């Protein structure tokens, strides 16, 4: 079998153009969007609706409720709350992208959970930590929301932070930021983090990045550009936002362990970032965090987002993880 042709122009691969003022122009034709589905119907695994979070930042969220909960009415049991941050290397994609909408709808149904998917400002127009700030602000919004779906159905004592790719990095960093504000988040109680193919980096190439240098989904030449556009100006990939293992990791990891939050690290063995994900999991365990690891052979980066056939197995594993903490 011949080697795949290496991606030589990451900007062309990403369909972006860098502008003189530092912003980028995005060609979104490859990212079809889906409208929310507020009305129950047999085709919709979940009902969903869009709600504003911060008008000044143009941030918003999409709320998903299993159709079964709608049919059961107010008397139904309270459901775990999964806060899900979408991927896109911090520079692309949105909550309403069709693939993320379908993923969250099916996840709400299969986990029997409320899923809240917040938007966040994208880089390079808004470099990190802007996305982390928005991720925290979404938790504050949920905490004080008077939305009827949340009030009637959400179990605030069972909250999980989850994300795919850049969203997994976001969930990790929102988790770290939240350890010192646990009392401020009450009645929200975070029980765990679900890191799905989280986006991590570093200056020195790791083994899987070398092995998969010509990966056709998310090769290092592409992720280098994503980090260059999203990290604070002047920072390299060994910044703590991209490489959590630098300087033996954040001391806040030990606080996650003391809070008894549990972490699920999910990766694919054909993802160039797999070794970084394994190293972060190893660091968390060293800091006293209980980590459940699941690495799937043959899976490229974000496999379950692109391939609906792979979702059912993933959601069974996540449901078991959540059930172990209820």
> Per-residue pLDDT tens for 201-237?
999 999 999 999 999 999 999 999 999 999 999 999 9
Q: Would you please indicate which residues are annotated as catalytic (active-site) residues?
A: 165, 271, 301
Give the pLDDT of residue 282. Answer: 98
- Answer yes or no: are the C-beta atoms of 130 and 157 closer than 8 Å: no
Which of 311, 284, 316, 287 has its CA nearest to residue 299?
311
Does residue 73 have a pLDDT over 70?
no
The C-alpha atoms of residue 239 and residue 228 are separated, in whole angstroms, by 11
- Give Cβ neighbours of residue 270 (< 8 Å, ≥ 6 apart): 212, 215, 297, 298, 299, 300
Structure confidence at residue 158 (pLDDT): 97
What whole-number distance in Å separates Cα of residue 212 and Cα of residue 170? 24
* % of the chain surpassing 90 pLDDT: 92
β-strands 114-118, 24-26 pairing: unpaired
pLDDT tens-digit map of 243-297: 999 999 999 999 999 999 999 999 999 999 999 999 999 999 999 999 999 999 9
pLDDT on residue 326: 84
The answer to whether 119 touches 53, Cβ cutoff 8 Å, is yes
Distance CA 309, CA 229 (A): 33
Instruction: Dump pLDDT digits (tens) for 37-61.
Output: 998 888 889 999 999 999 999 999 9
Instruction: Check pLDDT > 90 for residue 1.
Output: no
Q: Establish how many alpha carbons lie within 13 A of residue 273's alpha carbon, considering only the half-sphere containing its beta carbon.
A: 33
Q: What per-residue confidence (pLDDT) applies to 270?
A: 98
| Mean pLDDT in residue range 117-138 | 98
pLDDT above 70 as % of the chain: 98
Total-model pTM: 0.97
| Cα torsion through 314, 217, 274, 226, rounded to 10 | -110
């Amino acid at each position: 079998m011949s080697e795949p042709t290496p991606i030589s122009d990451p900007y062309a691969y990403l369909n972006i153009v860098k502008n003189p003022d530092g912003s980028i122009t995005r060609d979104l034709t490859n990212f079809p969007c889906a409208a929310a589905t507020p009305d129950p119907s047999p085709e919709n695994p979940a009902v969903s609706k869009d709600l504003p979070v911060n008008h000044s930042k143009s941030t918003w969220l999409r709320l998903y409720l299993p159709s079964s909960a709608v049919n059961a009415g107010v008397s139904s049991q309270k459901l775990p709350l999964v806060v899900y941050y979408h991927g896109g290397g911090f520079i692309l994609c949105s909550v309403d992208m069709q693939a993320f909408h379908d993923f969250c709808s099916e996840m709400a149904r299969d986990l029997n959970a409320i899923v809240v998917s917040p938007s966040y400002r994208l880089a390079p127009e808004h470099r990190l930590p802007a996305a982390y700030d928005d991720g925290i602000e979404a938790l504050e919004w949920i905490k004080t929301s008077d939305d009827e779906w949340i009030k009637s159905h959400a179990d605030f004592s069972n909250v999980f932070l989850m994300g795919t790719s850049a969203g997994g990095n976001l969930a990790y960093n929102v988790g770290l930021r939240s350890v010192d504000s646990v009392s401020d988040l009450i009645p929200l109680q975070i029980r765990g983090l679900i890191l799905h193919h989280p986006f991590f980096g570093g200056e020195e190439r790791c083994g899987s990045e070398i092995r998969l240098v010509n990966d056709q989904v998310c090769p290092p030449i592409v992720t280098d550009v994503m980090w260059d556009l999203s990290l604070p100006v002047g920072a390299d990939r060994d910044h703590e936002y991209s490489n959590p293992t630098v300087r033996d990791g954040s001391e806040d990891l030990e606080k996650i362990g003391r809070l008894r939050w549990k972490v699920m690290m999910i990766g694919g063995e054909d993802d160039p970032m797999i070794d970084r994900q394994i190293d972060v999991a190893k660091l968390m365990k060293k800091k006293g965090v209980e980590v459940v690891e699941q690495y799937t052979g043959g899976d490229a980066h974000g496999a379950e987002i692109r391939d609906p056939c792979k979702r059912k197995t993933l959601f069974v594993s996540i449901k078991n993880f959540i059930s172990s903490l209820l």
